[in-house]
């Protein structure tokens, strides 16, 4: 149920097996998503990403239907192959697209939240954040500083 309202940041599928005799394809699907619940690293950024790996077998009635990727006659989900876990932001296996697709982020709001948490923008300890997220954190601080200057706060 948690995945019903999740936001997928990156998803990829790959064919891992093709059986010409049975006209079936075994497919591995890998998904990285943000769940609506869980710990947050800071405002708008979860502490980790949900990582799901699943496998399916699709079977078609004839080669023409397979070739055109029409609706298969059978879909088998291999629940024994299902893996769901969390993955850290600095995990070397995390695709760069996950971070690129993290938005939309309200950088001014994030900067404000960081200032409130650390009591001052100059007190922010960058070591508290994964290295992969530092560009986002730094951009939020810069945009919030600019906002404060423009608003004369």
Beta carbons of 79 and 71 less than 8 angstroms apart: no
The closest of 114, 117, 116 to 139, measured between CA atoms, is: 114
pLDDT in 10s for each residue of the chain, 153 residues: 555 667 899 999 999 999 999 999 999 999 999 876 667 888 889 888 999 999 999 999 999 998 898 999 999 999 999 999 989 999 999 999 999 999 889 999 999 999 999 999 999 999 999 999 999 999 999 999 999 988 876
Residues 6+ apart with CB under 8 A from 64: none
* CA–CA separation, 50 and 88 (whole Å): 9
The closest of 29, 1, 2 to 13, measured between CA atoms, is: 29
Question: What predicted TM-score, i.e. pTM, was given to this entire model?
Answer: 0.80
- Predicted confidence at residue 4, as pLDDT, reads 63
Any idea where the domains of the chain sit in the sequence?
Answer: 1-101, 104-152
* CA–CA separation, 51 and 53 (whole Å): 7
- Predicted confidence at residue 69, as pLDDT, reads 87
Compute the chain's Rg from CA coordinates.
21
- Predicted confidence at residue 39, as pLDDT, reads 78
- Predicted confidence at residue 48, as pLDDT, reads 85
Q: Is 52 helix (H, G, I), strand (E, B) or coil?
A: strand
């Amino acid at each position: 149920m948690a995945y019903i309202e999740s936001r997928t940041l990156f998803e990829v599928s790959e064919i891992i097996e093709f059986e010409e005799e049975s006209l079936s394809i075994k497919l591995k699907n890998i998904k990285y998503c943000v769940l609506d619940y869980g710990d947050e690293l800071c405002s708008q950024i979860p502490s980790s990403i949900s990582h799901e790996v699943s496998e399916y077998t699709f079977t078609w009635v004839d080669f023409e239907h397979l070739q055109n990727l029409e609706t298969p006659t059978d879909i088998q989900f291999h629940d024994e192959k299902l893996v769901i876990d969390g993955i850290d932001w600095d995990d070397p296996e995390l695709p760069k697209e996950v971070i690129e697709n993290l938005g939309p982020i309200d950088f001014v709001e994030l900067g404000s939240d960081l200032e409130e948490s650390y009591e001052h923008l100059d007190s922010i300890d960058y070591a508290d954040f994964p290295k992969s997220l530092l560009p986002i954190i730094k951009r939020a601080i810069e945009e919030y500083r600019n906002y404060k200057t423009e608003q004369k706060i």
